[in-house]
Structures are given as C-alpha cells and as structure tokens.
Homo-oligomer: A and B are copies of this chain.
Amino acid sequence: MKLGTARIGDSTRAFRISGDRADYFDAKDVGELLSQPDWRSLATRRGDVPVGSALVSPVTQPRKFICVGLNYYDHAAEVGKSAPEFPTLFTKVPTAITGPRDDIVLPALSTEIDWEAELTVVIGQQVKNADDQQAAAAIAGYTVINDVSVRDWQRRTSEWFQGKNFDRSTPVGPYVVTPDEIDTGAGLTIRTEVNGVAEQQGSTSELIFSPVELIRYISQFLTLEPGDLIATGTPGGVGFIRKPPRFLADGDLLETTIEGIGTLSNTIRFEN
C-alpha cells in the first residue's frame, strides 16, 4: 500500500493510492492516521491523486524525526571513519520538512549545500525495548528523504543540528510504502541526481544498522510512537568530500529516488 498526505485548502489530509485515484482518510497526515490502530479499516472518500506542491510530506508534524549518521560502509569510509560500534543519532525538527515537489529556498548564509539521500522508516505503533519481531512489527512503511545539509553550519560545533535544520530544507516523501511491497534488506537502489546526473548511488542492502536493528537500539532508551521518522543514513557520494567539493547551486534540480518508493523532485533556490 502507498500512503501519502495532500494539501487541501489550509489543511492537509492523508490518503492511500488506489489505482489511478486516491482514497482520503479523516486524518490530517499519515502520522495522525497511523496513531489510530484500526486505520486500515477506516472510512475513506474517493478523490484525485495530488500532484505538484499539493503533495506534501506524508508526516507533516512528527513528534520525533531521528536521523542516523555514518550508516553505510562506503559513506563512513569517504568521510574518513571506520564502521561504528553504535549508531550516531541526531534529529530534525518539523520546520525542517518540505514536500516532495517543493522548491528548497535557502537563505544567503552558506554556499555549502550538500545532498544525502536516505531510506526513512515510518513508525506505525508505539514500541519500547523491542525485540526483532516487535521492531519489524513497528514499521508502518518506508519513505524517502534528502537530508540536505549546510556543511559549514554543520561543522560550526560538534553537534550537527544547525546544519541539518534550515527551514523547509529536507524533502520527505513522496509516499509511505508498506513493508509487504518492498524488501529493504534485499537491496533497493537509492540515488541522488542533480540536473539529471547521478551524483550518489547505493543499495539499502549496504546499511550498517538495518531498520530493525535501529528500532531495537533506539527503543532501549526511548519510546517510539506512530508517525515517528527514522532516517537511516546516506550512502557514499556526498558532495563535500569531492576534490574540489561539489555543492548545490541556485536553480539545480535535486532528484532523490529509492526503488519501489518513488522520487523527490526539488529545485534549489537561493534567496538574495
């Protein structure tokens, strides 16, 4: 099943794709939908599939948006790190989220704008101290993000938060695909293209900590809840480690794809 969220007037509404139409739920986003245990059997109303900026992030106000750093062997190696013993965790705040078709408008504070395509887990049920089976059951589905990173701000201090949380800099979507439709362990191609040229490509089979392992690890110390997001890290091929570095420029088209989930398509705009 493919779930998403559409902008309708001043509000938003969760939907599922059904053929070439959509069935709309009485929930403001996929996060709110998933917080209802019987969401699969809720009443729906038929409508059009949203296009363009009417398609918003599946989860618009996650209570948690946890990100994992250094979680592909090739990316850890390219930034000079060995494979980690523990996942590196940091967060994004809801204001950092933007839609799968929106422009990413950045203030004139930095020119070091880099890409990071990431498979992202959407939590479907509350879970604490999960074993493997409970962790797998807590996964409602998978979506795509690009953890667009402002590298000089990320490096200003030991903590990466400020380089990862510029307003509306992180596209999320286009859909949440349920685990019965895709097998992340078997390997889904994950790719960033800039102006049609592949800059970053990997396979989700190369994750150091798998989605289930991440949920087990994180749920040791905190409770995961419906609608929480866990971005699982980016494969090799980021821009800042190139010689010379390669960053995004005004007008660049950033396309982020995971096989079986879909493509984020966002144009970079620099404010003057």
The answer to whether residues A63 and B157 also contact, given A107-B220, A166-B221 and a CB cut-off of 8 A, is no
Pick the contact of A90 from B95, B159, B167, B220 — CB < 8 Å? B159
Contact B89 A167 (CB under 8 A): no
State which size class the interface on A falls in.
Answer: 35 or more
* Residues of the B chain whose Cβ atoms lie less than 8 Å from the Cβ of A89: 157, 159, 161-162
- Please measure, in the bound complex, the distance between the C-alpha atom of A192 and the C-alpha atom of B84, giving whole angstroms: 35
* Residues of the B chain whose Cβ atoms lie less than 8 Å from the Cβ of A128: 167
- Please measure, in the bound complex, the distance between the C-alpha atom of A109 and the C-alpha atom of B159, giving whole angstroms: 23
Contact A88 B157 (CB under 8 A): yes
- Please measure, in the bound complex, the distance between the C-alpha atom of A90 and the C-alpha atom of B88, giving whole angstroms: 13
Pick the contact of A159 from B88, B96, B162, B165 — CB < 8 Å? B88
* Residues of the B chain whose Cβ atoms lie less than 8 Å from the Cβ of A94: 63-64
Q: For the complex, is A40 an interface residue (Cβ under 8 Å from B)? A: no
**Which of A61, A165, A166 has the largest count of B CB atoms less than 10 A from its CB?**
A165
* Residues of the B chain whose Cβ atoms lie less than 8 Å from the Cβ of A87: 157
> A residues touching B (Cβ–Cβ < 8 Å)?
61, 63-64, 66, 69, 84-91, 93-96, 107, 109, 128, 150, 153, 156-162, 165-167, 218, 220-223, 225
**20 interchain pairs, CB-CB under 8 A:** A64-B93, A66-B161, A69-B157, A69-B158, A69-B159, A86-B162, A87-B157, A88-B157, A90-B90, A91-B93, A91-B161, A93-B222, A95-B222, A96-B222, A107-B221, A162-B218, A165-B222, A166-B222, A167-B221, A167-B223
